[in-house]
Amino acid sequence: LEVLEPGCGAGRHTFAVAKHFPNSTFTAFDIDAEQIEKNKIKCKELGLKNVTFLVADFCAMPQEWNGRFDYLMIYDCMHDLPHPAQAMAGLKRVLNKDDALVTMMDINTTSDRPTQTKDSISAVLYNISLHHCMSVSLANGGV
pLDDT digits 0-9 by tens, 110-132: 666 676 667 777 667 766 777 66
For the stretch 78-117, pLDDT in tens is: 877 888 888 899 999 999 988 899 888 876 666 666 766 6
Residue 7 confidence (pLDDT): 92
Residue 12 confidence (pLDDT): 94
Tell me the DSSP string of 31-53: S-HHHHHHHHHHHHHHT-SSEEE
Q: Beginning with the edge strand found earlier in the chain, give each strand of the sheet holding 51-55 in spatial order.
A: 51-55, 25-30, 2-6, 71-75, 101-105
Instruction: Please say whether the beta carbons of 3 and 25 come within 8 A.
Output: yes
Residue 8 has pLDDT above 90, yes or no: yes
Residue 138 confidence (pLDDT): 74
Please state the pTM of the whole predicted model: 0.82
For the stretch 18-50, pLDDT in tens is: 999 999 999 999 999 999 999 999 999 999 999
